[in-house]
Amino acid sequence: GESVGLHLPTLSVQEGDNSIINCAYSNSASDYFIWYKQESGKGPQFIIDIRSNMDKRQGQRVTVLLNKTVKHLSLQIAATQPGDSAVYFCAELSGGTSYGKLTFGQGTILTVHP
Amino acid sequence: DTEVTQTPKHLVMGMTNKKSLKCEQHMGHRAMYWYKQKAKKPPELMFVYSYEKLSINESVPSRFSPECPNSSLLNLHLHALQPEDSALYLCASSQVAGAYEQYFGPGTRLTVT
């Protein structure tokens, strides 16, 4: 079946380092790829999205890269802070933007040490 | 107000009980969602409501019954649940169905005994 998955289940970094979280996907027909952050005791929170016809998108301290050739998605967080500690999920939106549904990948636990 | 609220925060119920989970948003969103999240797993879509009508049911067992009384409220009625239904139930909303930016509530932690 089609799925979105992650290479690394955990990532531990020092405060101030850059973090890179990776994700592999298999559904080439997805319209959007999205990153969500879930802190302990909270629901997922939208971070950034990238449309399937783009390669790169930047936000505040975050950059998402999409490599459609190898079906790979990554989230780069610059100058990682303790508040960035959370589980990060990649997700894909498929089925069109009027009917589409989100399918989440398995998640990566990011731990930032002060 | 960009908040989705859910009540209760925690719920313990027996397999013969009937209970309801409630979700509310006041962002004017016309799509609302129920997700189920097991420990250390990603959220899994259960239902989607679009303009107060059920548009997606991800083959969820009938012991889960969603209801959307109006555009701001979403309920999930529970009856005759099994212990394996214990999970975090997340409600989300978005401007319209199919939007990639969804706003999630904190969830209801459900334990079925």
pLDDT > 70 fraction of chain A, expressed in percent and rounded: 89
Of A7-11, A109-113, B30-34, least confident by mean pLDDT is: A7-11
Collect all residues with Cβ–Cβ distance below 8 Å to A51 and sequence separation of at least 6.
Answer: A31, A32
Q: How far is A94 from chain B (nearest CA, A)?
A: 8
Interface residue B48 vs chain A (CB under 8 A): yes
Look at residue A98 in the predicted model and tell me its pLDDT. Answer: 60
Interface residue B23 vs chain A (CB under 8 A): no
DSSP B71-107: TTEEEEEEES--GGG-EEEEEEEESSTT-S--EE---
Q: Which residue is associated with the tokens 């909303």?
A: B93
Look at residue A53 in the predicted model and tell me its pLDDT. Answer: 94
**Interface contacts (A, B; CB < 8 Å):** 64
Q: Give the tens place of pLDDT for each residue, A85-94.
A: 999 999 998 8
CA gyration radius, chain A: 14
- The tokens describing B74, both together, are 């979403």
CB contact under 8 A, A100 and B98: yes
CA separation for the pair B24, B84 (Å, rounded) = 26
CB contact under 8 A, B42 and A106: yes
Q: Name the band, by pLDDT with cuts 50, 70 and 90, for residue A4.
A: low
Look at residue A6 in the predicted model and tell me its pLDDT. Answer: 44
Q: Name the band, by pLDDT with cuts 50, 70 and 90, for residue A96.
A: low
CB contact under 8 A, A43 and B107: yes
Q: How many CB atoms within 10 Å of residue A114?
A: 7
Q: How many CB atoms within 10 Å of residue B104?
A: 22
pLDDT > 70 fraction of chain B, expressed in percent and rounded: 98
What average pLDDT does the structure give for chain B?
95
Q: Give the tens place of pLDDT for each residue, B72-87.
A: 999 999 999 999 999 9
Q: Which residues pair with B112 in a beta bridge?
A: B13
Collect all residues with Cβ–Cβ distance below 8 Å to A10 and sequence separation of at least 6.
Answer: A108, A109, A110, A111
Q: Is it the case that residue A5 has pLDDT exceeding 60?
A: no
Helix (H) or strand (E) holding B7: strand B4-7
